[in-house]
Amino acid sequence: MVYHFEFGALIPYIPVILHGVLITVELTLFGTVLGIIVSILCAWARSGGPLWLRVPVGTYVELIRNTPFIIQLFFIFFGLPSVGVHLNAIDASILAMVINLGAYGTEIVRAGITATPRGQREAGASLGLSGPQIFRHIVLVPALSRIWPALSGQVVIVMLGSAVCSQISVQELTYAASFIQSRSFRAFEAYFVVTALYLILALLLRQILRLGGKRIFPGGKAR
């Protein structure tokens, strides 16, 4: 039996696919920005913060890194309402992505902070800067520039992971594929095209993060 590919069958669904791309981009944008903020705050808490903060942050990081994203998402979306926290599917997805990226990002950013040469802190101290001032003005930016490639890689992983959000009916790219498959029965074509779109999105996202990194961190590579 020979299968006839019919990508033309997808044409009526272009708006559905584009809407899916849009939602995936939206999830990624919010997840990334908020996730990086969480990473920085937790990395600070883990490397220089008070002891009573280090333990809970460490627990959070290990708990998230050692459980699947889909279970984290289900726990937030299906589990939290029974303790009175109701989130719509999009908010639950963004929250799950932020929590997930935050845990990985914390370890990545912390590695950048740890690699700060001692002389940098000493130069700041000898100019009369306080501990928090040294962190904010001297340590943070070179630390981020040092680990930007690793952090970018993690952002791409989180974007690809957002495919799972289709399982709580967020109408992102994967949801579009499933929708088309259920209507047209052109499963292969739908999943093939959507997979290609994810590939393009991933390559684009990598370029944007690389160029963005160059803009945000001038002055060359920090040692």
Closer residue to another protein in complex, CB, 13/69: 69
Contact 143, 109 (CB under 8 A): yes
Q: What does the block give as tokens for 144?
A: 């981020």
Could you say whether residue 125 binds another protein (CB under 8 A)? yes
Could you say whether residue 9 binds another protein (CB under 8 A)? no
Length of the chain as a residue count:
223
Angle, CA 113 vertex, CA 144 and CA 52 arms, to 5°: 120
Could you say whether residue 174 binds another protein (CB under 8 A)? yes
- Kindly tell me which residue out of 28, 72, 93, 106 binds another protein, with binding defined by CB under 8 A: 72
Could you say whether residue 184 binds another protein (CB under 8 A)? no
Decide: residue 77, CB within 10 A, 0-12 exposed, 13-18 middle, 19+ buried.
Answer: buried
Could you say whether residue 154 binds another protein (CB under 8 A)? no
Could you say whether residue 199 binds another protein (CB under 8 A)? yes
CA 36/CA 40 separation, integer angstroms = 6
Closer residue to another protein in complex, CB, 9/70: 70
Subset of 17-56 contacting another protein (CB under 8 A): none
Provide the minimum distance between the beta carbon of 210 and another protein in the complex, in angstroms, as a whole number.
14
Contact 173, 20 (CB under 8 A): yes
Could you say whether residue 3 binds another protein (CB under 8 A)? yes
Question: Which residues lie below 8 Å from residue 33, measured CB to CB, with a gap of 6+?
Answer: none
Could you say whether residue 137 binds another protein (CB under 8 A)? yes
Subset of 87-116 contacting another protein (CB under 8 A): none
A 10 A CB-CB count for 90 gives 18
Tell which residue, 77, 80, 91, has the closest CA to residue 27: 91
Q: Which residues bind another protein (CB under 8 A)?
A: 1, 3, 62-63, 65-72, 74-75, 78-83, 117, 119-120, 122-123, 125-130, 133, 137-138, 141-142, 145, 156, 160-161, 163-164, 166-167, 174, 177, 181, 187-188, 191-192, 194-195, 198-199, 202-203, 217-220, 222-223
